[in-house]
Structure 1
Amino acid sequence: MYHNRPHVEDIRAMKKRGETISMLFVTTPDEAAAASEAGIHMLSIEGRFFDAEMREAAGDCFVQVGLPYGGWGQFNGRALAIAEDYLRAAFYYASLGGDCFYCSASYDIQKALCDNHIPVVGHIGLIPSYITWTGWRAVGKTADEALALWKHTQKLEEIGVFAAELEVVPDRVAQFLTENSSLVMLGMGAGKHADAQYLFTEDICGYGKNHKPRHGKVYRNFAPELERLQAERIAAFREFRADVDSGGYPGPEHSVAMDDGAFDTFTAQART
């Protein structure tokens, strides 16, 4: 199956040909399998959700595995802090079939991954793990901020990063960065000129609990059905609890029968 999946060179070729890439953030095998069946090009899966089952469900999708950053997640029970930590995590997830690895750590750590021939995806614009420096807002609306984004892009390219999540930046700035860099720009709220259009499954399916971003678009509203299913789940659990309390479960039909003679022989021998 590995050789049926795209490689980095295939994703880069799509950028060169001007083909827009579809990308989804998924958290369950069912979501991954649906994305694969629908022909989605790329998936983003956090390391804590990525395992052999998820890789199998993702089919021929090119999978970006998110490496946990500092206190945002753990790998093998510890936060990732130094280059060696990130290398261990990346090689582990690669062994499970990860195709590239999101890393928002420092340039030196990203470079260490690149120097070990690991396909790295950086982050430009609104970076959640750096949110204390910017707040939840678009980044790059002033000339100074846009220039800082361009310099960041150039630095990522210099150290060998092959792609970057381009999040909540003005569409004109996104177009400039996309057209003037070899990085594959994975746009989320970055307008139509990014190389990829990247959304969260929870936004597409309408069951997100968090703030709905400006760039989010609901294609189906699963929320009422999921609420109904949860209510039915709770009702079933309550009925089970009541059945256990009353002795109604288990009944004879739920138990394994034994011939009387065999049981009598067993108890007689057990007591000798």
Structure 2
Amino acid sequence: MKNLKDLMTMKQEGIKISMMTAYDYPSAKQVEAAGIDIILVGDSLGMTVLGYDSTIYVTLEDMIHHGKAARRGAPDTYIVVDMPFGSVGISHDKDMQHAITLYRETKADAIKIEGAHFELIEKCKLIGIPVVSHLGLTPQSVGIMGYSVQAKSKETAEQLIQDAMAAERAGAVMLVLEAVPSDLAAHIAERLTIPVIGIGAGIETDGQVLVYHDVLQYSTERKPKFVKIYGDFRPGVEALKTYHDEVRQKRFPTEDYIYNIQVMGENND
């Protein structure tokens, strides 16, 4: 299992870090078997497994439930769990209570916080909770910023640089940059000492993260530009249709799938 020291060494040595989302026991088990460096239990589970059209409906209880399942599936992988919408930005006491609960209940290695919550990151560090910061496109704020590339002007690019540096100063152990120009992401990755993981942020970040359901075509939603398809789960629907047809047509189960033990003989009452 990789720890923060290992991940820092990978950054220093130029070894790219792989991160993949996983939301339950079987997907986490697969991701660990593939040797992926980090599992992210992201609030994107709202769309991929809970059927919502946004992350904002995902609750703290949802994240705890799925985080615990992923940990059972991947006991030897570094796991990061999202703080969902509504669990931060309330009050300092409530924010800390939610962070502590999520970290403790899921047995995660770190929690992830979207947006410029630098004081919360600092307070988490003081009590021993590692925090991954998430800047750029932050889906929990999509109602304000929309789904589009961020930091496209000189001014907004400079603000993102300052925010990234502030996250590191506050004690973030890692940074996720989403949907930002590749040259800007490269510049930030070079300036920070902590690993910078990109999603739609080019190849010069210290690592990459994608969504399990996207790369395997396990979902039918339209894929963002930055998603590359590595597998195809869609034939599963055809397999299910075949099962349905065989049941209807009395072609399943055949003798190969039956326990042929005679317990209802003629003399049985």
Note whether the superposition's TM-score is higher than 0.5.
yes
C-alpha displacement of 1:43: 0.4
C-alpha displacement of 1:49: 4.3
C-alpha displacement of 1:236: 8.7
> d(CA) in 2 for partners of 1:151 and 1:29?
38
C-alpha displacement of 1:139: 0.8
For residue 243 of structure 1, what is the aligned residue in structure 2? none
Whether 1:58 aligns to 2:74 is yes
> d(CA) in 2 for partners of 1:67 and 1:234?
40
Report the CA distance shift for 1:18/1:229 in structure 2 as closer, same or farther (over 3 A). same
For residue 242 of structure 1, what is the aligned residue in structure 2? none
For residue 110 of structure 1, what is the aligned residue in structure 2? 121
> d(CA) in 2 for partners of 1:202 and 1:42?
16
C-alpha displacement of 1:233: 6.8
Corresponding residue SS for 1:194: coil
Report the CA distance shift for 1:254/1:138 in structure 2 as closer, same or farther (over 3 A). farther
Alignment of 1:1-272 (within 5 A): 5-46=1-42, 47-70=63-86, 81-95=90-104, 96-104=106-114, 106-223=117-234, 225-231=235-241
C-alpha displacement of 1:104: 1.8
Give the partner amino acid of 2:32: S
Displaced runs of 4 or more, over 6 A: 233-239
C-alpha displacement of 1:112: 2.0
For residue 257 of structure 2, what is the aligned residue in structure 1? none
> d(CA) in 1 for partners of 2:155 and 2:238?
49
Report the CA distance shift for 1:130/1:51 in structure 2 as closer, same or farther (over 3 A). closer
C-alpha displacement of 1:238: 8.4
Contact 1:83 1:112 in 2 (8 A): no
Corresponding residue SS for 2:114: coil
> d(CA) in 2 for partners of 1:171 and 1:24?
20
- Deviations 1:84-112 (Å, cap 9, x if unpaired)? 34433443444442001101253322222
Report the CA distance shift for 1:230/1:134 in structure 2 as closer, same or farther (over 3 A). same
Structure 2, unaligned runs of 5 or more: 43-62, 250-261
Which is further off, 45-54 or 209-218? 45-54
Structure 1, unaligned runs of 5 or more: 240-252, 261-272
Bigger radius of gyration, 1 or 2?
Answer: 1
Report the CA distance shift for 1:125/1:238 in structure 2 as closer, same or farther (over 3 A). farther
Give the partner amino acid of 2:174: A
Size of the alignment, in residue pairs?
234
Percent of residue pairs bearing the same amino acid type: 24
C-alpha displacement of 1:228: 2.5
Give the partner amino acid of 1:221: D
Which is further off, 128-137 or 19-28? 128-137
Contact 2:23 2:67 in 1 (8 A): no
